[in-house]
Structure formats: C-alpha cells, structure tokens
Amino acid sequence: MSKEALEASIKHWEENLQRVQNKELPKVSASDCNLCNLYYKISPYRCKDCPISIFVMAPGCLRTPYPEITKVLSTIHIFEEWDTLEKLVQEEIDFLKSLRDIEYLWSVK
C-alpha cells in the first residue's frame, strides 16, 4: 500500500538528512525510494498512480524539492553547498509529510 511506502520514504529522507549533516552523500536514486519501487516504470506512463505525481501533476518528482537536490548534488564536490543541500533535504521531508493527510491521494488503487 502506498501510504506505508510514503512513511518508508519519509524515513529514508530523514536518514538522508543525517548523511548530509555528516557531509556524506544522500541516496537519491529511484531504486532508493519506496514510492518509486511501487510506481516508477520506464514507459509513457512513468510514475502512473504515484501519490506524488498525482499531487504535483507531473512525473519524476518534478515540482518537488527533489530536482533541486539532484542539481546541488551534481556540483557538491566543487561548491560544497552542504548547508543548501541540508535545507533542500529538509524541504523534501516536509513536502512528503504534507502528503499524509491528503485523502484523495490514498484512494487511488
């Protein structure tokens, strides 16, 4: 069920926050995400029925903090923007937590 996957994803991002606070790289691939493990498909219907995709009306976690996280990670070895990364990871956690009580997201089968 996707609500359990959401909780697992929140826990995963909380673990990522600890990594970033220790100046370690977070795990951010689709294979690290419980929601992606349920919904991500390489097809024209990528992310179909994922609660995040439904909420933001876009696939691939667009319109969430995630794309900015990956952007910062692509240059972390050059600019060492650990504070920025920490802020963005916290925003991702807050975003995911905000989805808990949006009932229509959890009625999709």
pLDDT tens digits in sequence order for the chain, 109 residues long: 589 999 999 999 999 999 999 999 999 999 999 999 988 877 667 888 899 999 999 988 999 999 999 999 999 988 899 999 999 999 999 999 999 999 888 776 5
Task: Give the burial class of 92: count Cβ atoms within 10 A of its Cβ; 0-12 exposed, 13-18 middle, 19 or more buried.
Answer: buried
Q: Residue 9 has what pLDDT?
A: 96
Single out the residue of 32, 94, 27 nearest to residue 65, CA to CA. 94
CA distance 62 to 69: 11
Q: Residue 108 has what pLDDT?
A: 61
Residue 29 makes CB contacts below 8 A (sequence gap 6+) with none
Specify whether the CB–CB gap between 99 and 51 falls below 8 A. yes
Tokens, residue 46: 């990528």
Domain range summary for the chain, segments of one domain joined by +: 2-101
pTM of the model: 0.91
